[in-house]
Structure 1
Amino acid sequence: MPDLRPQGLPPGYRCRSATTADAAAIHGLVAACERALHGRPETAADRIAAELALPGLRPEYDTLLVHDGTGGPAGYGWVRGRRARVHVHPAHQGRGLGGALLAWAESRARQAGSDRLAQTVPDTDRAATALLRAGGYGPLVTEWLLEIALPGEPEVPDPPAGITVRPFRQGDEQAAYQLTEDAFDEWQPRRKTYEEWARRTVERAAFLPAASPLAFAGDQLIGAVLSLDVPGNDEGYVERVAVRRDHRDRGIARTLLREAFRSFHRLGRPACTLWTHSGTGALPLYERLGMTVRRSSTVYGKALGTD
């Protein structure tokens, strides 16, 4: 079993692997970090639970939860393949926990056979950015959180001729998986299994079929918007947008997004948000729909040598 003790853990802290029973405590830690950076929490509790239960993740090896002397969560690390997450509670920052967790993440990734590691950091988090850059990480892509206000009911254009639109319903899962993974294959580093994809989308408690419109050409699914109703957040959130390649540039994505916006407006949501990044080339589409950038993050990556 790999040694879970990170090098350089400051005195007074102890660590152990996380379990699914820790999801609420980890969410509280992440929410505290987001509140300090952005003024409010943004990550849903069910996202943490879903990530701890992803197929192939071995929490006893791939997670690390750091506690302070009172037993409260002070830091958290998560590694899966070439991706890592590191969070340090604002009350415990500046003490070396971030560096210790980052070193642990790199060591764990090497043990698991990964030759690279990447982490996403908000551009407003200057301390984390400096830590990564000092550790040899360089920027890979930019991510943007986009928003649109919904003061009135959005107009929804008619779909193109031959295309029908309806909300997501039970039985659409496999077709939606195939469509979205085919679309994301153009830029994502690896294709997700159905089990992993479902845990991140349609099996989440926050998944909202009523605001997840699908587009069909005959009986073939050719477009999808998958949305979440995140507890504790009064805004709508679009998790996935995909249109089959041979049906792009026909206004299908615009129609589906407008349909999702209208659904969120009818649910009383004052705004809707979604993430996109520079690898997709989709930013101009969202800007034409009236969405604007609320904030940005950068994905930093590093080639891993041997310990």
Structure 2
Amino acid sequence: MSASPFFRSQAGYRSRPATTADAREIHRLVAACEHRLHDRATTDADGIAADLRQPGLDLAYDTVLVHDDGGRLAGWAWVRGRRSTVDVHPDHLGRGLGRSLLAWAEARARRRGGDRLAQTVSDSDRAAVALLRSSGYSPLVTEWLLEIAMPEEPVVPEPPEGILVRPFRPGDGHAVHRLAEDAFDEWQQRRQSYEEWALHTVGRATFEPAASPIAFAGDRMVGAVLSLNGPGGDEGYVERVAVRHDHRNRGIARMLLREAFRAFYVNGMRTCTLWTHSDTGALSLYKRIGMTVRRSSTVYSKELAPGTTGD
């Protein structure tokens, strides 16, 4: 397979586009990066596979893998719309690969007609933060990974009056999708199609229906929590929390989260995590139910001035 279009490989490296068959190799790279920064992997191969299947991502043009002369994956990047990801294996840091991949991502975004590009990096990755800032990126949004320890079975409050709760069932996907997209309309840039949304939620191999409670007011779905089994199988992960606008401030989200925590506890897990960010305003809710910040990341954004597309 030829090199990924317009990526200029450095001496000692060769490049090519990614394929869906590369998910596990890419996951090993990402896990190595996460172990360096956080002493554990927080991404699984299932999540990488979902990223590679994103609608609108043309693997032949929007991804690049960089291997060393020994055939080991040294870095990778993808671009889709205004978002991109760049990862460099810890063994290959300090050789300019990050800067080269960042330049490729910007050139690819321009070539697709993009006027802005954003990347999320861990606040503990000082080298990546320095690279983005020196390249003209500015902080846009703060993200927090929260956790709750569960040494004892979590106590679940009684549902609010008129609310019934049950676990996710086959066939609930489309209704939960509509609920979540309506709930997030106030801050997300665009609505996701069901196919795109399902890739990262109910379509994942790690999706855990038993830890995904849904709330109803009569026949109307008014709230949902969707959960995944986290990497390593030793902790749960809450992927989505959504409550209808007209049923907020009734304790539904708190109740559903505690129900999810209890389900993970029953399955032998003693920790549960979730991500939130500053646009949602939900950090205080999670802290009130006993969650604490494990670590934080920042979304950095840059306006792409017209210029060379890298070809």
Q: Partner of 1:281 in structure 2? A: 281
- What's the offset of the Cα at 1:10? 2.5
Q: Partner of 2:5 in structure 1? A: 4
Deviations 1:126-184 (A, max 9, x none): 00000000000000010000000010011100111111000000010000000111111
1:86-125 aligned at under 5 Å gives the runs: 86-125=86-125
Pairing 1:177–2:177 present: yes
Q: Distance in 1 between matches of 2:275 and 2:3?
A: 35
The one-letter amino acid paired with 1:23 is A
1:10-89 aligned at under 5 Å gives the runs: 10-89=10-89
Q: Partner of 1:268 in structure 2? A: 268
- What's the offset of the Cα at 1:2? 11
- What's the offset of the Cα at 1:113? 1.7
Q: Distance in 1 between matches of 2:65 and 2:100?
A: 12
Q: Partner of 2:158 in structure 1? A: 158
CA contact (8 A) 1:24 1:45 kept: yes
Q: Partner of 2:193 in structure 1? A: 193
- What's the offset of the Cα at 1:190? 1.4
Q: Distance in 1 between matches of 2:231 and 2:93?
A: 27
Q: Partner of 2:245 in structure 1? A: 245
The one-letter amino acid paired with 1:111 is R
CA contact (8 A) 2:41 2:231 kept: no
Q: Distance in 1 between matches of 2:57 and 2:3?
A: 15
Q: Partner of 1:132 in structure 2? A: 132
Name which of structure 1's ranges 230-239 and 80-89 shifts more when overlaid on structure 2. Answer: 230-239
Q: Partner of 1:305 in structure 2? A: 305
CA contact (8 A) 1:227 1:236 kept: yes
Q: Distance in 1 between matches of 2:13 and 2:190?
A: 36
**SS of equivalent residue, structure 1 residue 253:** helix
- What's the offset of the Cα at 1:233? 3.8
- What's the offset of the Cα at 1:231? 4.2
Q: Distance in 2 between matches of 1:5 and 1:66?
A: 13
Q: Distance in 1 between matches of 2:303 and 2:106?
A: 10
Q: Distance in 2 between matches of 1:255 and 1:300?
A: 34
Q: Distance in 2 between matches of 1:218 and 1:103?
A: 53
Unaligned residue ranges in structure 2 (runs of 5+): none
**SS of equivalent residue, structure 1 residue 232:** helix
**SS of equivalent residue, structure 1 residue 183:** helix
Please, what TM-score do these two structures have when normalized by structure 1? 0.98
CA contact (8 A) 1:140 1:300 kept: yes
Alpha-carbon RMSD: 1.3
The one-letter amino acid paired with 2:5 is L
Q: Distance in 1 between matches of 2:14 and 2:33?
A: 20
CA contact (8 A) 1:42 1:233 kept: no
CA contact (8 A) 2:85 2:119 kept: yes
The one-letter amino acid paired with 2:7 is P
- What's the offset of the Cα at 1:186? 1.2
The one-letter amino acid paired with 2:213 is P
1:196-215 aligned at under 5 Å gives the runs: 196-215=196-215
CA contact (8 A) 1:85 1:119 kept: yes
Q: Distance in 2 between matches of 1:72 and 1:178?
A: 42
- What's the offset of the Cα at 1:235? 0.7
**SS of equivalent residue, structure 2 residue 139:** strand
CA contact (8 A) 1:10 1:95 kept: no
- What is the aligned-residue identity percentage? 68
The one-letter amino acid paired with 1:186 is E
How many residue pairs are counted as aligned between the two chains?
306
- What's the offset of the Cα at 1:203? 0.5
